[in-house]
Structure 1
Amino acid sequence: MRKASILAAAALIAVAGAAFAGTTTFRAMDTYDGQVLAAQNGHTLYTYDKDARDVSACYGSCAADWPPYIANPTAQPFGHFSFVVRKDGQKQWALNGEPLYFRANDKKPGDVTGASVSNLWQVARPA
């Protein structure tokens, strides 16, 4: 009986660890624009100067060009990373309260085609 309890506790810890592991979806990436914050897939992340703290201003055609970095439903905030709740209820990753986005024109890991676009988009840098 005790062995079963220990195994159950170990399984619970493993599940909790896996849920937390889903939140580590960021990495630093070296690019020609210096080190950038990227998603786990290596695609560069950006911030938008028109966003308010903890609020996204990028919807419609803006979000088509700059897709929001949507969190996995089981992800949990950690460190400098939190969530912004979008109008549709989805959780978007944020760094220090600034919503994070991809650039649709970035085709491969390390691309930084969105750097300083319209002087409104900034490459996110590792925290």
Structure 2
Amino acid sequence: MYPKVLLGLAMAFSVQVWAAPVQTADSSEGEILTNEAGMSLYVFDKDEAGVSNCNDTCADNWPPLAASKEDQAAGDYGIITRSDGSLQWSYLDQPLYLWKQDKAPGDMTGDGKFDVWHLAKP
């Protein structure tokens, strides 16, 4: 009996599921996507499907929602490779970003910025 239980436990703990670190939240702008800490996520009009065009200073101001090599795309959430080789989460092929001026969960100060940044919405 014990070997079966131990084998079952070993199998259960060896399987890991990596989900996108994204959740939805209600806001004054309707339902939006946030990171796990509740910080608003944004999309950039100048991106192309599956391609980030926000690099260098842009990425300093709009940090990409980073993915790791161990993460796996699932459903509407994908992982793109940025021009510097780092990985970034996307939603429906739109790369996802944070905004450095947002300081607390629920802040949405980047929405409409420069007419090209918008809250990511499901």
Report if TM-score (shorter chain) is over 0.5.
Answer: yes
SS at match of 1:101: coil
Q: Distance in 1 between matches of 2:116 and 2:19?
A: 27
RMSD value over aligned CA atoms?
1.7
Q: Distance in 1 between matches of 2:43 and 2:8?
A: 41
The percentage of counterpart residues that share the same residue type is 33
Q: Distance in 2 between matches of 1:49 and 1:37?
A: 16
Q: Distance in 2 between matches of 1:121 and 1:25?
A: 20
Q: Give the deviation of 1:27 after TM superposition.
A: 1.1
List aligned pairs for 1:7-86, cutoff 5 A.
7-16=6-15, 19-20=16-17, 22-86=18-82
Q: Give the deviation of 1:74 after TM superposition.
A: 1.9
SS at match of 1:125: coil
| CA displacement, residues 67-121 of structure 1 (integer Å, 9 cap, x when unaligned) | 0000133211111000110123221000011100000001001111111111111
List aligned pairs for 1:83-122, cutoff 5 A.
83-122=79-118
Normalised by the size of structure 2, how large is the TM-score?
Answer: 0.89
Using a 3 Å threshold, how does the CA distance of structure 1 residues 24 and 93 change in structure 2: closer, same or farther?
closer
User: Structure 2: which 5+ runs fail to align?
Assistant: none
Quick check: 2:20–2:89 contact (8 Å CA) kept in 1? no
Q: Distance in 1 between matches of 2:10 and 2:115?
A: 49
Instruction: Report which of the two has the higher share of helix.
Output: 1
SS at match of 1:89: coil
